Amino acid sequence: MRVLKTKEEVSSLVGQLKSQNLKIGFVPTMGALHQGHLSLVKSGLDVNNVVFVSIFVNPTQFDNAQDLEKYPRTLDRDVELLQTISDSKIIVYAPSVEDIYSDNVISTSFSFDGLEFEMEGRFRDGHFDGVGTIVKRLFEIVTPNNAYFGQKDFQQLQIVKKLVEKYDIPVKITGCEIYRESSGLAMSSRNERLKTEYKKEAPFIYKTLKAAKVKFGTKSANKVAEWVEKEFAKNDLLELEYFIIADVETLKPVKRKSKQKKYRAFIAAYADDIRLIDNIALN
């Protein structure tokens, strides 16, 4: 498998591929790959001739130095895992911080029409400026035809769609279903760090989301939120950061339900010092 380290190597290869009219798919990641990432790569391979996978722990999207430091970095294992799908059609781009940022490790300020102020934006300072900065830069380097993002980070997916629209970037964004462990826990690179008792308890998040979905059929968003908050208050291991039912387009919390709108319920919760997020479509 080709593992490229610099943007020059990527540009040169992309030039060759495009001169042969080949379609390029792209899956940006921060590594510590799991089946969820592989499902994105497989979606990419279905409709593109090659899929680039970037593996880069982006410093500007972390608001917490410890979280950045502890983020798992497992390049060799990641490459092995990708090889199980295809050796020749996947190209890894694993740049250094210097390759991406030179000596200026800062993010650009973006406006995503308010999407950036909701949920994760309220709890993770500067996070979406960091995501916008890296995704835009990676799109400029890889210039993919198609790019794939998981719906686990649903807000990120909507923000990337907004980024592409605002900057007229010629790439089609596909949001892929959340990939879950058999317990229902949404797959995440952070799951690896969960201690056994927390790992056992973490599926409670999805279980609660599923129950919230049923309740939303007959109850108001406020009543459902109250119920979820009570359920978490009874749980000694998981600490709820937020539960929000939001309009999928604006990501604003729903005040009064409308049949014309689509809603999702979102949870962020701590299991020990590990922050987990998940969400579910409600209608």
Binding site for ligand PAF (CB under 6 A): 28-30, 58, 61, 131, 134-135, 153, 156
Give yes or no for a contact between 178 and 150, defined as CB atoms under 8 angstroms apart: yes
Q: Would you say 190 or 213 has its CB closer to ligand PAF?
A: 190
Q: What are phi and psi of 200, to 5 degrees?
A: -70, -35
Question: Hey, which bits of 159-221 come out as E strands?
Answer: 172-176
Give yes or no for a contact between 246 and 252, defined as CB atoms under 8 angstroms apart: yes
Question: Minimum distance between the CB of residue 60 and ligand PAF, rounded to whole angstroms?
Answer: 9
Give yes or no for a contact between 138 and 171, defined as CB atoms under 8 angstroms apart: no
Question: Minimum distance between the CB of residue 95 and ligand PAF, rounded to whole angstroms?
Answer: 12
- Could you identify the residue written with the tokens 């990939």? 179
Please enumerate in sequence order all residues whose Cβ is within 8 A of that of 90, keeping only pairs 6 or more positions apart, or say none. Answer: 1, 41, 45, 50, 51, 52, 53, 82, 83
Q: Would you say 127 or 264 has its CB closer to ligand PAF?
A: 127
Q: Would you say 130 or 204 has its CB closer to ligand PAF?
A: 130
Question: Minimum distance between the CB of residue 31 and ligand PAF, rounded to whole angstroms?
Answer: 8
17, 26, 27, 37: the active-site residue = 37
The bridge status of strand 24-29 relative to strand 146-150 is: parallel
Q: Would you say 95 or 185 has its CB closer to ligand PAF?
A: 95
Q: Would you say 129 or 209 has its CB closer to ligand PAF?
A: 129
Q: Would you say 107 or 208 has its CB closer to ligand PAF?
A: 107
Question: Minimum distance between the CB of residue 232 and ligand PAF, rounded to whole angstroms?
Answer: 25
Q: How far apart are CA 143 and CA 146, in angstroms?
A: 9
Looking at this protein, which amino acid is placed at residue 227?
W
Is 127 catalytic? The answer is no
Question: Minimum distance between the CB of residue 188 and ligand PAF, rounded to whole angstroms?
Answer: 9
Closest alpha carbon to 57 in 120, 134, 127, 153: 134
Question: Minimum distance between the CB of residue 127 and ligand PAF, rounded to whole angstroms?
Answer: 9
Structure tokens of 215? 């309740």
Q: What are phi and psi of 178, to 5 degrees?
A: -70, 130
Closest alpha carbon to 174 in 42, 14, 12: 42
State the catalytic residues.
Answer: 37
